[in-house]
Structures are given as C-alpha cells and as structure tokens.
Structure 1
Amino acid sequence: MKVSEYATEVINTRPYKYQTRQTYFSDLKRLGIWDLDVSEVNSAMIRDIVEKVTTQSTRKRLFITARSIFKDLGICQDLPNLEAEGKVYDIPTQEQLEWLIERSKYRLQLLLCMFGGLRLGEACAVTPDKLSGDYLDVNQAYSQDGLHLGSPKTYGKILLPHWLAAEVKCMEPHQYWEMGRPTKLVSHSTYKLSRGAKFKEMTGGKTVNPHMLRHWYATDMIRRGVNPEVVRRQMRHKNVSVTLKIYTQVRSEEIEASLPNRLRNQTEIAASQKTNVIEFKKKALR
C-alpha cells in the first residue's frame, strides 16, 4: 500500500482537527514519501530528509507527523521529540505597528492580534456575541484556507482593552469573516503593506505578519512587569514556560542593560589601588 492511501485512511478516521489533517497531508508530501510504498518508510530515511530542513520548528513538526501517522505500524517511533524553539522577530515599535494597522483593510483582525494576543484564525472568528462585558470567549478559529470554522488551538476567555471590546461590539454583519475566505489574505496583505516605501523608511526594512503581533503582545506585558501567570492566561497557554520561552523576546540592548554595574568607576578604582599600595609600603617600613 502506498503512503498516500494509508495516510489518507488514517488521517480521515482519527479525530484530528481540520487544520491538523491539512498539515499532515502537506508534511507527508514535503517529506517526499507520498508516492512511496509504506514498506519503504523508516526512521533513517525520515531523519536524512529532515536534517536538510533549516528551521527547528519545521523539523519538530515533521518528526511529529511521521510518528503520528505511522504509530499503528510501529514505524518512526524512535524519531526525536525536538524541543520547541521560538522564532525571534525583528519587531517594529508600537507606534510603527499601529501606523501600519490603521492603514490595513483588515484593521480589526490585526488589532485583535496585537492587543488581544489572538492567533489570526481566532481573530477572524471574532463576533460580538462572543463578548461578555470586555471578556472575549475564544472558542472558534478559521482554518488558513477559510473552508473550516472549528475549534481554536487553545480555548479560553481573555480580557480585551475596553476600547477594543467596544469596537467588537459595534461590528456589523458585513464585517464578519466569511466562510471560504482564506485567512492568509490578511497575512499577504499585511506583509505587502509593510513592504511599502513609507514603512520601509520608518523601520529600516522590517516586515510584519499577524503572528508577530501576538509575540509583541506577550513581550509587551512582560516588559511592563505584568505577572507571568496573568500573561499565561491571556495567551491561553497550558504552561507558563511556553509563554516565557517562546512568546517573549529579549533584545540585545536589554541583555546589555541587565549587566551589573561597578559601584566605582575605573578612575576611582585606580586611585584606591594606588592608596592601598602606599599603605602597604608604610606598614612594611614600620
């Protein structure tokens, strides 16, 4: 049996989420084993293929796909479970991001990513009925292709800034995301907008994507001294270590600023050392 036949049967009969199924199909084709016979697949082959992938997160995902798809056959179960590695974004300033968002036709979705920490598919699924006061119930998400409205990656209620909750409450039906409309339209549009001459001049050539705004959201809270447990809840992570390790970024300037300072400058230290030498000689002559 070919991998394509076996994988299709497995993926369609297991209770995977829609986006997970799409990812598994895509990963198997990326691995180049889609048209092979299942008997040809083994861990060594998968390792050799994945070693050529440069991105840690992609390598991790491809190993997960292989282990999951072939677990009933006992194949690929010894593939490593790589540690997640957060992507470090060169994030523009808040002022620059807001300038960009205000010029986007997907303004509300981007504001929800930046000031609510939502993933893009979750932001597209937001409607006024999901609000209770200023609390938003994150319980749905659109798939990237826009063909499926299902469960989000993580559920939870988050508190929106009052002004943003007010905008969501005032949404008209024509502003709701439509089934069949790919969410990647937002990503493409945002990237294109950030490549404009004005924004390039402002930022020195930095580009923006919606998920970068989620990173900005977490990083901004940590920098303002917000309790990490509060950040975790707002980000809807199961473990605070994910929040701190993956979604908060450290700039080189912050590392430099974290270094302890000497209480005295070098001139004072030199003078002190000279005084100590003189005192030592006086004592020696006594």
Structure 2
Amino acid sequence: MHDRDIRALEYFEVYQRSQHLADTTITNRRSILTAFARHAGALVDADVFSLRGYIGRPGPATAGTRRTERGALTAFYTFLHEDGIRADNPALKLKPVSVPKGKPRPFTAAQIDALLTTGAYTRTRAMILLGYYQGFRVSSIAPVHGHDIDLTSGRIRSVVKGRKERWFPLHPVIAELADTMPTDGYWFPARGGREGHILPGSVTNLITRAKKRAEIAERKLTPHSLRHAFATDLLEEGVDIRVVQELLAHEHLSTTQIYTQVSEQRKDAGIRTLAPREIAATSGRGSVKIAA
C-alpha cells in the first residue's frame, strides 16, 4: 500500500475515534479498506469503477457483506472529500445494495438444554445463560462485570450498539448466577497475563465449541442465535413487541419485527380464533322466491 494511502487510513481512524465510534467498527472498516486497496491497487485515488468492481466482484460474499463494504467505502471517501484530501467523492455514485429481509435463526428449547448439559465449562454455561435469558450479544457478554449487577433493583447494566449504556431487568436465572460470579471483577477475565475481560470473539469460540459438543449440526445457528431465541420466545409468550424492542435495545421497531415472522404456531393459533359455524348442506337458493 502506498504511503499516502497508509496516512489516509491513519487520519480516518483518528476521525472515527473523534466520533466515539466502536473499536469493532473502526477495525472492520480498516480491514475492508485494506482489502479494497489490494483489489484496486490504490486507495485514495481509486475511482468509482474500482469501487463498483470491488462491491460487485464475483464470489460468495452475501448481500449483507456487500452492504457493509459499501458503508465503509462511503464513510472513507466522504471523509477524504470533506477534509480536502480528495476534490471529489466517488462513493456518491454507489447505489444502495439490496439486502433481503433477514430471518431469525433461534435455538430451540431442546438445543439450549443440550448446550447446557453436554459438558460445557462453567463460564461457557454462564455465557449461554446471558445470551438466552438477557438476550445479550457476544459483545455485551464479554465485558460483564460484577458492578453491572444491581440485585436490589433487579437490574443489569450493559453497553449496547453505539456505546450507549443501558440498564435492563435482571432475569431471576441470571440473578441466581450472579451469586456464583465475581462481585468486584469481570465475570470472564482475560487470560494469558492480559488485563481486562475476554474478547467477544472468544465468547463466540467457546459457545461454538459447546454447540459442537452438543452435536447441533445446523450451520446457521451461531451464538447470536441465543439472542434470536430470547426474542422469539418472548413473542411466543405474548410479550408486547414494543417491550421486546426495549429489551433488545433496538432503535427501530422494524428490526424487532423480523422475529414475528418465525412462528407457525402463532399463525395456527391466530387463524383458529375464528369461531366455527354450522354450514348448511345447501345454499337454499331454490327456496328463495325471485321478485317479479
């Protein structure tokens, strides 16, 4: 990569940190931009045809991946243009990437039981419980600290997307779990002499191992599927969708609404609310007198 491109990436990173963007967002964008630079042979001076060629390249990339790449490229070239590093913004000519509406991939109750009863370590079991009973993402599971638990008010604190601090109702299962976890330290401390908590990727790896140990073969089921099960089961039990939205910390109700697509059981129950009526064997048309 050219020196000018390297400096531009460094300036862009500082720009993003000044906006208080999440480390994962900054890291992911840098990875995308570095891969694009290798593909196009240039970064700062790339044209719109190179951008389109990268997003539309042949291969197995999903529509969601291509949309994420477009977002990273748009943010970078908008920054270059606004800061006067480039006179134009080639990303303005990139069309939005059409992404099919996603469908939830929840674990079943039997699968969650299998995760918990087929030899997972104690801390992995705790991660699984936080994923299902609190609906936490792996990025929220990794940094759980004893100070995040308020047993008096029955609340648990978490930092959600956008680095927003939120307090959520504490499920009784997690309240009971808290009695066995550190009260003045991270629940999942880092290992190998590193300070702080484990990385979200480590949470993903540990739960994935538990999934393999439980002989759950579905490839589409991931640690995030615990969160999907949390939302789906709440809706199955009749919890109002606005309440579920708040528990998931979704900014938009439309994001929560994908969970309403799952349940065939709810569809069956809904249609059966129409009371049956006695249906006559004939229409009675022959007995009706037609007025002259």
Q: TM-score, normalised by structure 2?
A: 0.75
Aligned to 1:119, which of 108, 121, 137?
A: 137
Q: What is the aligned partner in structure 1 of residue 200 from structure 2?
A: 183
Shift, 1:79, TM fit? 2.3
Q: What is the aligned partner in structure 2 of residue 70 from structure 1?
A: 77
Distance in 1 between residues matched to 2:269 and 2:35, nearest whole Å? 43
Aligned to 1:46, which of 42, 51, 66?
A: 51
Query: Which structure 2 segments of 5+ residues have no match?
Result: 82-88, 191-195
Aligned to 1:194, which of 211, 217, 235?
A: 211
Q: Which has the higher contact order (CA 8 A, sep 6+)?
A: 2
Distance in 1 between residues matched to 2:101 and 2:127, nearest whole Å? 23
Instruction: After superposition, give the CA deviation of every residue in 1:44-88 in whole Å (9 maximum; x if it has no partner).
Output: 322232234542221221111001011132231232344665543
Whether the aligned pair in 2 keeps the contact of 1:154 and 1:236 (CA below 8 Å) is no
Secondary structure in 2 matching 1:158: strand
Q: What is the aligned partner in structure 2 of residue 57 from structure 1?
A: 64
Whether the aligned pair in 2 keeps the contact of 1:194 and 1:206 (CA below 8 Å) is no
> Structure 1 pair 83/44, CA: closer, same or farther in 2 (3 Å)?
same
Whether the aligned pair in 2 keeps the contact of 1:3 and 1:33 (CA below 8 Å) is no
Instruction: After superposition, give the CA deviation of every residue in 1:125-178 in whole Å (9 maximum; x if it has no partner).
Output: 1122112232011138xxxxxxxxxx8654311112123123124313584322
Distance in 2 between residues matched to 1:83 and 1:223, nearest whole Å? 30
Secondary structure in 1 matching 2:215: helix
Whether the aligned pair in 1 keeps the contact of 2:22 and 2:163 (CA below 8 Å) is no
> Structure 1 pair 96/235, CA: closer, same or farther in 2 (3 Å)?
same
Secondary structure in 2 matching 1:45: helix
Task: Give the counterpart letter for 1:129 in structure 2.
Answer: H
Shift, 1:6, TM fit? 1.8
1:93 lines up with 2:108 in the alignment: yes
Distance in 1 between residues matched to 2:55 and 2:270, nearest whole Å? 37
> Structure 1 pair 67/210, CA: closer, same or farther in 2 (3 Å)?
same
Task: Give the counterpart letter for 1:238 in structure 2.
Answer: E
Q: What is the aligned partner in structure 1 of residue 8 from structure 2?
A: 6
Instruction: After superposition, give the CA deviation of every residue in 1:168-198 in whole Å (9 maximum; x if it has no partner).
Output: 24313584322374332332333233234x6
Secondary structure in 1 matching 2:92: coil
Q: What is the aligned partner in structure 1 of residue 148 from structure 2?
A: 130
Query: Which structure 1 segments of 5+ residues have no match?
Result: 141-150
Whether the aligned pair in 2 keeps the contact of 1:3 and 1:36 (CA below 8 Å) is no
Task: Give the counterpart letter for 1:171 in structure 2.
Answer: M
Secondary structure in 1 matching 2:93: coil
Identity, % of aligned positions: 17
1:21 lines up with 2:37 in the alignment: no
Shift, 1:107, TM fit? 1.0
Shift, 1:227, TM fit? 1.7
Task: List aligned pairs for 1:197-276, cutoff 5 A.
Answer: 199-200=215-216, 205-207=217-219, 208-245=221-258, 247-251=259-263, 254-255=266-267, 258=270, 263=276, 268=279, 271-273=281-283, 275-276=284-285
Shift, 1:21, TM fit? 1.3
Shift, 1:237, TM fit? 1.7
